[in-house]
Amino acid sequence: MRYQATIGIEVHAQLLTASKMFCACRADYAAAPPNTLVCPVDLGLPGALPVINAQAVEDTVLTGLALGCRIAEVSWFDRKNYAYPDLPKGYQISQYDHPLCAGGSLEVEVQGARRRIRIRRVHLEEDTAKLTHAEGCTLVDFNRAGVPLMEIVSEPDMHTPEEAYAYVTGLRSILRYLGVNSGDMEKGALRLEVNVSVAAEGEQGTKVEIKNLNSFRAVLRSLEYEISRQTRLLQAGQRVAQVTMGWDEVREVTFEQRSKEEAHDYRYFPEPDLPPLMLEPAWVEKVRARLPELPGAKAERYRREYGLSSYDAAVLTAERPVAEYFEAAAALTGDGVDAKMVVNWITSELFRLLRTAERPIEESPVTPAGLVELLRMIATGQLTASSGKQVLAEMFETGRPPAEIAEARGLTQISDRSRLQAVVEQVLDENPQAVADYLAGKEAILRFLIGQVMRATRGRANPAMAQELLLEALAARRAHSS
């Protein structure tokens, strides 16, 4: 029997607006002392009236357009009723059957195969207060209550954990490109819930939800775990119960949180304190004009324009500042420096320096122009690649130009024939056994001898010239010995 998994995903993304969804309280609560960003609206005091945040609507419409959704000319806010300490009003203002955006999609690539994942809807709601469970009590912070929250719901179009992973990472990348969400999962600015059912092909399985996934890795691992758990149950002839699961990050297992019998009846009804939200088509078109080039389109263009591999194009376009850095550098290429060389130095050396310094690329002390200047010194033979790495590290530390550093450090490459010839003779004299082996036909030993020349010059010898001079000197010795 062949089984197939069917996966759907709900993403909650806090919008980066200045104020909250329905009041003028500041939305950026991260550094604020608990319960300092509150007012009668988010506390649900009698008589307080909500007002819709226009920026939140615009951010949601922008996201919907980026995902190819239809934007509703008329949408509604509804009350989702439930009683819980994180919800002072006793209901959350959300959107139920008339969401802002519907019917989009996102293309993902898994192992070279591209697939389009449909998106059912994108709607707007308010975040709840934050509960912190301490010993013997629970603390509640209302600063988060009322922060604009966008919910993006996929169709159940994914079938493997890898597809789910590609979908959530792709979505995060788009939200960050649009500047509507920070993508910070540790701080809860982006939250993920998946649902997964396993069934024999062509049959309908039982949907299990997994909540509280705090990282992309958790999405991948929890789905792997849950798919194999459900498959084992079905193979043993048992049935899968419809439950909501949590994910234990440490033990890497799902655990049951509540069963279907305890499911809420939210008694949705239209929010009587808010009018229907009407959007002028001309306004929607104005928002559409703001759409930036998105990561997928950008990667496609990099493949076409710079001849990059799919992998390189994906790495460079995942984050907008990295793409901007690359494009600024790529615009300065020429004279032996090509886009591929720029990519290699950004993704290996520069990324390593940024990681170690824990700095984002937009704060890189090495500018795109500085990087290309360094690469040009390497391309024209003034610096070896290994000296180039040393110079880059110092540029990163001091912000000084590469020529100045190379000069001060005595790192400029030795391309002086007679000077290098002397080093080659010295290396051959110091390694008689290697020379004998080479002359006896073990030509692979040449690499060792080149290495010795590089060592004697502390990496500054022009490698091509070193090889040429070594071959000449060895040929002379062969002629001499025979």
* Binding stretches for Zn ion (CB under 5 A): 23, 25, 39, 41-42
* Shortest reach from residue 142's CB to Zn ion, in Å: 9
* Phi, psi angle pair for 135, to nearest 5°: -65, 120
* Shortest reach from residue 23's CB to Zn ion, in Å: 3
From residue 316, how far is each of 175, 183, 298, 310, 313 by CA, in Å? 16, 17, 9, 10, 5
* Shortest reach from residue 301's CB to Zn ion, in Å: 43
* Shortest reach from residue 39's CB to Zn ion, in Å: 3
User: Is the CB of 91 or the CB of 177 nearer to Zn ion?
Assistant: 91
User: Is the CB of 39 or the CB of 253 nearer to Zn ion?
Assistant: 39
* Shortest reach from residue 94's CB to Zn ion, in Å: 17
How far is the C-alpha of 21 from the C-alpha of 29, rounded, in Å? 13
* Shortest reach from residue 27's CB to Zn ion, in Å: 9
User: Is the CB of 42 or the CB of 327 nearer to Zn ion?
Assistant: 42
User: Is the CB of 25 or the CB of 378 nearer to Zn ion?
Assistant: 25
* Shortest reach from residue 25's CB to Zn ion, in Å: 3
Q: What is the 3-state secondary structure (H, E, C) of the chain?
A: CCEEEEEEEEEEEECCCCECCCCCCECCCCCCCCCCCCCHHHHCCCCCCCCCCHHHHHHHHHHHHHCCCEECCEECCEEEECCCCCCCCCEEEECCCCCCEEEEEEEEEECCEEEEEEEEEEEEEECCCEEEEECCEEEEEHHHCCCEEEEEEECCCECCHHHHHHHHHHHHHHHHHHCCCCCCCCCCCEEEEEEEEEEECCCCCCCEEEEEECCHHHHHHHHHHHHHHHHHHHHCCCCCCCEEEEEECCCCEEEEEEEHHHCCCCCCEECCCCCCEECCHHHHHHHHCCCCCCHHHHHHHHHHHHCCCHHHHHHHHCCHHHHHHHHHHHCCCECCECHHHHHHHHHHHHHHHHHHHCCCHHHCCCCHHHHHHHHHHHHCCCCCHHHHHHHHHHHHHHCCCHHHHHHHHCCCCECCHHHHHHHHHHHHHHCHHHHHHHHCCCHHHHHHHHHHHHHHCCCCECHHHHHHHHHHHHHHHHHHHC
* Shortest reach from residue 38's CB to Zn ion, in Å: 6
* Shortest reach from residue 34's CB to Zn ion, in Å: 15
User: Is the CB of 21 or the CB of 178 nearer to Zn ion?
Assistant: 21
* Shortest reach from residue 130's CB to Zn ion, in Å: 15
User: Is the CB of 57 or the CB of 129 nearer to Zn ion?
Assistant: 129
User: Is the CB of 149 or the CB of 152 nearer to Zn ion?
Assistant: 149
User: Is the CB of 41 or the CB of 374 nearer to Zn ion?
Assistant: 41
User: Is the CB of 45 or the CB of 131 nearer to Zn ion?
Assistant: 45
User: Is the CB of 126 or the CB of 209 nearer to Zn ion?
Assistant: 126
Residue with tokens 């988060």: 144
How far is the C-alpha of 347 from the C-alpha of 25, rounded, in Å? 41
